[in-house]
Structure formats: C-alpha cells, structure tokens
Structure 1
C-alpha cells in the first residue's frame, strides 16, 4: 500500500536535507532560519513518519543511518527540481544557483575535462557544486533513480531509454618512458607485443583496442593491472612497461612525467566518450545548461 502524502508534512523534507548537508542541528537551524528546538522537533516528527532514527548523535555531529543515506539523493534531487519549478521566472540562473550536480565517470574525465570545466564553472556559476564518483555497471540505474545527473564514459549501458551524446572522440596512443631501452620515437607491432603492459580492469565490453587484441597475433603481455589512468602514467614513467591510453591524457600529462607519446602500431578508430542521462532530465534548464557547458569545454580539446 502506497504512503498517503496527505499524512506527511512535506515541510520536514528541507529540514532533513539541511541536517544531511550541515551535519549538525545548530548549523542546519542557522541555514534554515529556524531555532534549534524547532529543528529538533521537526526531526522527531520525521523519525516518526519514516519509522527510522535517520541520524545518530556522535562527537563528530549527526551521523546518518543507512536509511537516511538512501533517501538523501532522491530528496535532494526533488527539492532542487521544486525550486526550479516554483521559481517566479521558472528559469535556471547559473550565476545565483546553488544546484548540486552528481557526475559518474572515470579519472580520465577528472584529468582531461574537469580542470577546464571548473574554470568555466567558477566564472559563470560560482555557487554550483560538482560531485564526481566512479562509473560502474550500475550507472544506468543510478541515472534513472536520480542518484546521478550525468555519466561520462566510453562504455555505455545496454539501455535504449538513456539519452546520450558524444562528448569527445579519443584516439589511442602508446606511452613509454623517455630512455626506454627499445622504444625510441616509434612503436612497432613486434615491440608492442614483446613489451610488458600496464592495463586497466576488463569491464566485459568491447572497444576498438579490445577488438584488435582479440585478433590472432595481437596477444599482449600484461605486466600489471591497475584501477586508474593516472596509475598507468605513473607506472610507465618509472618502469620499462608501456600502456595504451587516450591521446589527450598523454598530451596533458606525459611530458611532465617523462613519457614519450607514440602512435599505436595499427589503424584504430577513435574511441567515443559519451555523455548519458535520464530522459527525465532532458528538459530541465539546469541540466541542459550543464550539458552545454560540457560540450563547450570538450570543443577546446580538438
């Protein structure tokens, strides 16, 4: 049986959100312009309504329960949406908005796109907050459940309901340390196959590199498997191992880390990097603005 919303005081939801973000009753009260006794009373009513303690008082502040952690992304998302809908102009103003966007990605995005994006963001939207967490095979569910606003990844879920747009098309290159005993300015197929490689975990989906490595005569030697692109760069700069990485990543960080950037020893099509989002976000002015800002920043990486 569904909960009857008429039995719920929806004014309690901003109180819940304020306690989650402030971590203390006194700070939440200050943020909402309420007294601390009023905040405490509202929390007690919310506990009774939801049948959960929601917060446990500790020396560090109000510690959320698992139920509170589960509820917070959804409540925050809907509160943000209500603010936009009820705004007198019904429009999103980036200069004054305090919107909190959650993005799912891998460290490629954080290293290549995020630095320039933050510069644009602070120039145009000084109060907006970005939160980037690791993309995984649950990204589709996270987008549909409003646990995240956008996902940015080369691996796209098999979900036709998700909206998508190509953010970047990324060629692949080989990196090796300067002074590598074999690779000096070029990488032949033989040298590529004889070297030890730094590789990322297999996500059970196929990109152009995976396809060519499945062909006869293209089996590479794995020296170490790491979790991030940044670890690939570091490992190659301090060993004779090599790696295949996105060209923009290599160009931005390779020279400073003493790495040479070499063409891949075969023709490979560029890897598309996608933006993905829930259709429910399609017409949200704030979401549209963020997507346009991302495309603008991506255009600076030709």
Structure 2
C-alpha cells in the first residue's frame, strides 16, 4: 500500500483563507509516530478513533494547501474552525502567533471542522494531535503555545486542557507546565484491554435490544462492503465498516458506554493503525474480519448476549495483535 507523503499540507480556517503563519521554532515538536508517512487506512483509523468522545458525533479532519511565506519555508500553521463564532484582534493574533510555541515546519495539529464552541473545537483538535502522534508522549507544551498553534485565545484551550487532564492524556509539570502523558507499555496494554471489554459489553447490550430492522441494516452494510470491496480503496473500505460500528452503537443505546469506548480507543490508535495498514491487503485477514461481522449479526439476531460479546471481544482484539 502506498504511503502518504510525510509532509502534511497546511490547515486553513473554515472560510478557506490561510491562517497567519508562525515562524519556525522548537518549543512544540510535532513528529509522527507512524514513521515517514501513513497509509490511507491509517488516516481513516485516526479520524475514526478520535470521534467526538463527549458528544458522540463524528468530526472530520480537513487539510488544504496554502501559500508558503518566505521565512517559514513550508511552515505549518494551525487554525480551529470559527464556525461557532468568535473573533480575535490582529494584535492578539500576532502576539499569540509569535509567543512561546512555534510549530515544526513539517507537522501541525489538524483543523477540526465541527459546530460547537471554540473550547470543544480546541479539545477535539488537541485530542486528534495526541491520537495521531503529532503531540508526542512525554512532550512538554504550554497553554499559550497550544493556543497559538490552534489560533485561538488561551481561554478555550484552558477548558480543553482540563478535559484532556481528566482523560489522563495531559498532566501538569511544575507550576505552569504541561506534558503529554507517556504511559508505560504495560499500562497501555491494560487500557487497550479495557477497550476490548467495553466493546464486548456494547455488543451484549445491542443483542438485548436489537430489532429485525436493525439486523437487516447491519447485514446490508456487510453485504454492500463485500460486493464493492474490489472497487474500493482501503480508506473507503474502512469508512464502510465504520457504518457498522455506528449502527451497533445506536442499537446498544448506551451513550455513556460509547463515550468510554471512544475515550479508551485513543490508546490503541498506533497499534490498530499499523495492523490495518499491514493487513488490509491480505485477503485471508479481510475475509476473517468480514466473517466476524456476519457472526456478530447472527448472534445479535438470536439475542444471544454472551455469544455476541465473545465474538466482539475477539474481533476487537484482532486489530491490536500485541494484546
């Protein structure tokens, strides 16, 4: 599978105009943990995993090319969508853009296009950066630096930071410093194991509540994926599979549980990405995944809660092979 180019295009605000550039610097070093690039499935995984964990609604990451200012030499500047409203003076914009945090010219946080407050947008943009490795575990950051990178005032970033601290993704270092939490490998494995168990529980609840109409919908999604697989790119295949997951969550009708699943899913992003990038071209592996989906639907239709949970756990675990 061809890898995407390692250089990320620059993000723009929702109006389509490029945000002001920031000069090069080293305070915030945005490096990808996915090596020289990530394949299309990797991109899909990252976009899926970081879906609005507090609100339960999907968001998208969009990039567009901008002109490169001479002194930045290909620099990357970041902006949170202003769809929710809010303005900043040119003076404050200039001050924030040149204060402590400077964005590495090769990387940047993704723009999050979604309705909602600037605090929500900042939260999802920062969470996206943590999920896809642009904000590296152990990296030191500052409130002002993150605000400059997102092109917003410190106030919404402060609210976003509180949420990320609560989720265990950011921690305080000293009086004013912040650090991306670097969990030990054993802790990460345990957190991923929790995600697997939660997904199994969601399948159990879905088996308890499912209707014939929902069974037909789920089976139809799988049939459509099988029929069109040869014509779809790995990214498109993954997007189709995501509809199955979303419908299962709808049937389970437990938004609190779904919030937990999406909160824990961030810890398995890197392994899940590598696995799907590697195995998406393996016909036997894909066939096994599709067979799991059919088996899950059969268990749901039979209202067999125990079987549905067992198959879902196996299915979720198979995308994180180190568990």
Structure 1 length-normalised TM:
0.23
Larger radius of gyration: 1
Output the TM-score relative to the length of structure 2. 0.22
- Which is helix-richer, 1 or 2? 2
